[in-house]
Amino acid sequence: MLRVSRRRFGRYAGAAFATLAAPTVLRAKTRPRVVVIGGGAGGGTAAHFIAKDSSGAIEVVLIEADRRHATCIFSNLHLGGFRSFESITHGYQHLSANHGVTVVNARATAVDRAAKRVTLADGSDLTYDRLVVAPGIDLIWDSVPGYSKAASEIMPHAWQAGPQTQLLKARLDAIENGQQIVVVPPPNPYRCPPAPYERASMMAHRLKAKGFGASRIIILDPKPKFSKQALFAEGWEKHYPGMIEWYGPDVHGGIKGVDPTTGTVATDFDDFTGTLVNVIPAQRAAAVAVDAGLTNSTGFCPIDPNSMRSTLDDAVFVIGDACIAGDMPKSGFAANSQAKVVALAIVGDLSGTAAPPTRYASACWSLIAAGDGVKVAGEYGPNGTTIAATSETISHTDEPAAIRQANYTDSVVWYDRISAEMFGR
C-alpha cells in the first residue's frame, strides 16, 4: 500500500490541486483492479496515469486488441510525406516496464456490468473494481449507400489508422498527373473535425511536390460548413490553386451512394468518378461500448462532466471518442485530457478522497502545407450535465508565416508528449 502524493495529483490539474485533501493511503487489503478497454489516446493515457499516480496501489490491466497502435494523429502527415508510418506506430512495452501496467493483447467481447466482469475473445474473463471504456469509434458502413467493410479495401476510409492508412497512402502514391481524387467526409459528430480537410491538403501537397498540378481533389461534403473552413479555403487558394474543390449539400444536393466497381460517387447533382475515392462514413461509439449498454440514442456514451463517469453505471468511466463530451471535440488531445481527469477520479474514488476541480483542454493543429500550420484550441469545464467551453482560440487568416511555422513546431512537440503519455515512455 503506497501513498498517493499531493505532487502527483498536481501534475494532472495544475493549480487545481491546491484544494486537494491531504495525501491519502489506499486501504484495500488486496489491490483494487482497474480494467481499461482500449489502448489509444484515451485508454493508454488513463492506464499510464492510474498506475503511476497510485504508485502501484491500484492494479491496472489494459486490454488492447492490437499489438501495435498506429495513431490517427499525424496519419495525414504520413500521407503528405512528412512522417514515416513507423514514426506514428507504437508498442505497449513501456507501459508494462515503466509503470507496471498489465497489457492484455486481446479483444474485449463483452462486459457484464452486474458482475463487473469483462470477457475476452478467447472466452477468459477479468473482474474489475472500476472499468475505463476507451475503445474509440466504429464506422457505420451503410451510412453511405453502397459502402461496406469490403468496399473500404477499394475506397479506403483510413479513419482508423493502420492497414487502412497504408492502403490510402499506396493509392495516393499511385495517382498520375491529371487523375482525380474524390473525398467524402463524414456527417457530424465524428472524430477530429478538421482532419478530412487537412487530409485533402496533404494529398494536394504530395501531388504538387510531384509536379502533378493537373490532378484534382473533389470534396463532396454532407455538411454545409466545416471546421477551420476559412483557414483551409485561404490555404488551398495560396498553395494549391485550382487543385481542391469543395462542394456542400447546397451544390451537390446530397450523397446518394458509392459504387466501388466504377469508383463513382453519385449525388443528386451529378456522378463524380475518382481514380482514388476516400469515403469516411458516419460514426458511433465502438461496439464494445454499445453492447455493454453504455450508449444512448445518439450512439455515444453519456458521462458525468465532473469525472467522465458513465451516467448509466457508477463503476464505469467512458473517455475519448466514444463519449459525449459536450463542447469538446473528438480529438486525441481531448481524450488524453479526459484520461487525466479519470485517473484523478478513480484514484480518489478508490482511496476515499475528493478529486480536485475538473478542467479539460484540447488543441487541434492542422498542416495545410510545409510550415503552414493552423490551430484551434479550447479550455473546458463541467457546466450542469455537460462539458462547456470556457475559452476558445483559433488561428486567423492572413497570419505571418512565423506564426504558422510555430504552430507546426508546437504540434510536433505535442505529438512527442502525447505519444509518450499514451505508451508510458
Ligand X SMILES: Cc1cc2nc3c(=O)[nH]c(=O)nc-3n(C[C@H](O)[C@H](O)[C@H](O)COP(=O)(O)OP(=O)(O)OC[C@H]3O[C@@H](n4cnc5c(N)ncnc54)[C@H](O)[C@@H]3O)c2cc1C
Q: How far is the CB of 269 from ligand X (least distance, A)?
A: 27
The DSSP string of 192-230 is -TTHHHHHHHHHHHHHHHTT-TT-EEEEE-SSS--TTHH
List 90, 169, 330, 375, residue binding ligand X (CB under 6 A): 330
Q: How far is the CB of 33 from ligand X (least distance, A)?
A: 17
User: 139: which strand partners?
Assistant: 283
Query: Applying CB under 6 A, which part among 7-15, 16-24, 331-339, 343-351 lies near ligand X?
Result: 331-339
Alpha carbons within 13 A on the beta-carbon side of 368: 25
List 42, 235, 274, 299, residue binding ligand X (CB under 6 A): 42
- Tell me if 39 contacts ligand X by CB under 6 A: yes
Residue 365, sorted as left (phi over 0), alpha (psi -120 to 50) or beta, turns out to be beta
Taking the least distance from each CB to ligand X, the nearer of 37 and 255 is 37
Distances (CA, A) of 208 to 240, 276, 368: 8, 16, 13
Query: Applying CB under 6 A, which part among 2-10, 72-80, 246-254, 397-405 lies near ligand X?
Result: 72-80
Stretch 80-109 residues interacting with ligand X (CB under 6 A): 107-108
Q: How many CB atoms lie within 10 A of CB 356?
A: 21
How far apart (Å, rounded) are the C-alpha atoms in residues 168 and 227? 23
- Tell me if 364 contacts ligand X by CB under 6 A: yes
Cβ contacts of 368-371, under 8 Å, gap ≥ 24: 368/198, 368/201, 368/231, 368/232, 368/235, 368/236, 368/239, 369/201, 369/205, 369/235, 369/238, 369/239, 369/240, 370/82, 370/205, 371/401, 371/404, 371/405, 371/408
CA dihedral 182, 183, 184, 186 (to 10 degrees): 180
Residues with Cβ within 8 Å of residue 158, at least 6 apart in sequence: 75, 164, 165, 167, 168, 199, 278
- Tell me if 32 contacts ligand X by CB under 6 A: no
How far apart (Å, rounded) are the C-alpha atoms in residues 425 and 416? 10
List 66, 125, 327, 410, residue binding ligand X (CB under 6 A): 66
- Tell me if 134 contacts ligand X by CB under 6 A: yes
List 333, 360, 380, 423, residue binding ligand X (CB under 6 A): 333
- Tell me if 135 contacts ligand X by CB under 6 A: yes
Judge whether 263 and 228 are in contact, CB under 8 Å. Answer: no
Taking the least distance from each CB to ligand X, the nearer of 32 and 156 is 156
- Tell me if 192 contacts ligand X by CB under 6 A: yes
What character string, x for contact with ligand X (CB under 6 A) and - otherwise, covers 287-326?
Answer: -x-------------------------------xxx----
Q: How far is the CB of 126 from ligand X (least distance, A)?
A: 12
Q: How far is the CB of 17 from ligand X (least distance, A)?
A: 25
What's at 26, amino acid-wise? L
- Tell me if 203 contacts ligand X by CB under 6 A: no
List 35, 72, 308, 368, residue binding ligand X (CB under 6 A): 72
- Tell me if 111 contacts ligand X by CB under 6 A: no
- Tell me if 159 contacts ligand X by CB under 6 A: yes
Q: How far is the CB of 248 from ligand X (least distance, A)?
A: 21
- Tell me if 132 contacts ligand X by CB under 6 A: no
Q: How far is the CB of 25 from ligand X (least distance, A)?
A: 31
Q: Applying CB under 6 A, what is the total number of residues that bind ligand X?
A: 38
255: its cell numbers:
450523397
Judge whether 252 and 245 are in contact, CB under 8 Å. Answer: no
Place of cell 483551409: 232
- Tell me if 286 contacts ligand X by CB under 6 A: yes
Residue ranges binding ligand X (CB under 6 A): 37-43, 63-66, 69, 72-73, 75-76, 107-108, 134-136, 159, 191-192, 195, 199, 286, 288, 320-322, 330-333, 335, 364-365
